[in-house]
Amino acid sequence: MLAGDLDPGVRKAMEIVVALGRIYGARRLVRVGSVQVAGVSYRNLGEAGLEFLREWADQGARARVPTTLNPAGVDLRAWRELGFSESFAGRQVEVVEAYRRLGARATCTCTPYLVGNRPQVGEHVAWAESSAVSYANSVLGARTNREGGPSALAAAITGRTAAYGLHLDENRRAGLRVLVRCPVRALSDFGALGYLVGKAARNRVPYFEGLEEACSAVALKALGAAMAASGAVALYHVAGITPEADRADALELDHETLVVDDLRPAYAALNTGDRAIDLIWFGCPHASLEEIAYVARLLAGRRVKAALWITTARDTRERAEAEGLVAAVEASGGRVVADMCVVVAPMQELGFRTLATPSAKGATYVPSHAGLQVRYGTVEQCVEASVTGIWPDKF
Ligand code: F3S
């Protein structure tokens, strides 16, 4: 590939993989089982990014392993109903088309592991989105660094990545032991815990003790996403739960210990917006079927005043539709939105002011990336806010 025996686009991809390997001192390449590409929203890519993708495809580059895409900037089918402009949506569709030419599956989601891209324990992959990377490493026990857009695509085109960082055993041990000494029950509690631990992690892998009873897959998804947002944590272990936590050497001998006995500082830090709410956002990371079902149950027989969006993968939306969940959410005036993420959407086109969410990652990024104020709380609190339009402080 590097010698240029194949297409020029393949050579370019291998040059990127090899250059990264040299920078990070890798001794070898490993084959990857799958790739998850970030840099899909036209808002982030712009014309230059779109041109770059088209050019690479013209040079004969094609993914040689299963490759999925990160969320786009709009729902690729319902963008008009949501109020997004044709000028943006048209360019966004062209970006996804360029990725399709490069061999990617046009499923735009940050939870590819819920829609068929689910690596095995120990499998090397090259994923890019921070919460997906955290889930793949920690919950599934796969091995990936957090790839950038071009480096993930280069791994897809070559089927290889350089073996450094989290591909190696020695970098997967925990240097921060976290003793959880307060109740962690609601989904937003997991996000709050992740927010605090991410802030304290400073490049160390956290090892949680005291969560054994409480962890569902949805809770782990929220915990990892929050740590990825507040501290770029790409791997964590939970005693008794995650696949590598029970290894004898999971914890470094000279680890530090952090005791978490109060989640209120996280709620205070993430709750900065006005009490008048005009958009509720569930599904960061993209909602599972169970999460959609739970919100639908809470909404039953009620009518929302604020806009309510549940973002999810297209495949998950289709399953939700088949089970009557989309109709149930829509009966209350909410929407199940596919393909997109609020943080990379052109939200200024829609005129919202304050968003409420049970996602700590969403609450971390929304003010800076989407230009909206934010309220952070439980799923129940967010549903209540959707019905009244006012953030309920006590709930
Ligand atoms: Fe996914 Fe966007 Fe949240 S990429 S994790 S929905 S910020």
Task: Convert the pLDDT of each residue in 75-93 to its tens digit.
Answer: 999 999 999 999 999 999 9
The better pLDDT of the pair 214, 50 is held by 50
Asked whether the beta carbons of 309 and 334 are under 8 A apart, the reply is: yes
341 lines ligand 1 (CB under 6 A): yes
Residue nearest to atom 6 of ligand 1 (CA): 284
Residue of 36, 131, 311, 366 best suited for mutating to test ligand 1, as the one with most atoms within 8 Å of CB: 131
Q: Percentage of the chain surpassing pLDDT 90?
A: 98
pLDDT digits (tens, 9 = 90+) for 13-39: 999 999 999 999 999 999 999 999 999
Best of 361, 369, 376 for a ligand 1 pocket test (most atoms within 8 Å of beta carbon): 361
Tens digit of each residue's pLDDT (9 = 90 or more) over 170-218: 999 999 999 999 999 999 999 999 999 999 999 999 999 999 877 999 9
Q: Which residue, judged by its Cα, is nearest atom 1 of ligand 1? A: 285
pLDDT at residue 226 is higher than 80 = yes
Q: Which atom of ligand 1 is nearest to the CA of 344?
A: 2
Residue 3 burial by Cβ neighbours in a 10 Å radius (0-12, 13-18, 19+): exposed
What is the per-residue pLDDT for 274? Answer: 96
CB of 343 sitting under 6 A from ligand 1: yes
Distance CA 355, CA 158 (A): 41
pLDDT tens digits, 85-128: 999 999 999 999 999 999 999 999 999 999 999 999 999 999 99
pLDDT band at 381 (very low <50, low <70, confident <90, very high): very high
Q: Is the pTM of this model over 0.95?
A: yes
Going from the Cα of 64 to the center of ligand 1, the distance in angstroms, rounded, reads 26
pLDDT of residue 321: 98
Going from the Cα of 248 to the center of ligand 1, the distance in angstroms, rounded, reads 34
Q: Which two tokens stand for residue 28?
A: 């070898």
Beta strand segments in the chain, E: 29-31, 35-37, 67-69, 105-108, 126-127, 160-162, 174-180, 206-209, 237-238, 251-260, 279-282, 307-312, 335-338, 354-357, 373-376
Residue 340 Cβ < 6 Å to ligand 1: no
Percentage with pLDDT > 70 across the chain: 99
Distance 28 CA to ligand 1 centre (A): 32
Query: pLDDT at residue 57 above 90?
Result: yes
Residue 74 identity: V
Out of 70, 317, 341, give the residue to mutate to test ligand 1, the one with the largest number of ligand atoms within 8 Å of its CB: 341
Q: Would you say the CB of residue 346 lies under 6 angstroms from ligand 1? A: no
- Does the pLDDT of residue 279 top 70, yes or no? yes
What crossing angle do the helices spanning 379-388 and 289-299 adopt, rounded to 10°? Answer: 40
Q: Beta-strand (E) ranges in 141-221?
A: 160-162, 174-180, 206-209
Is 284 close to ligand 1, i.e. is its CB under 6 Å away? yes
Residue 213 has a pLDDT of: 76
250 vs 247: CA distance, rounded Å: 5
What is the edge-to-edge ordering of all strands in the sheet holding 105-108? 105-108, 67-69, 35-37, 126-127
- Atom number in ligand 1 closest to CA 110: 1
Q: Are 349 and 83 in contact (CB under 8 A)?
A: yes
Per-residue confidence band for 395, with pLDDT thresholds at 50, 70 and 90? low
Q: How much distance in Å is there from the Cα of 378 to the middle of ligand 1?
A: 18
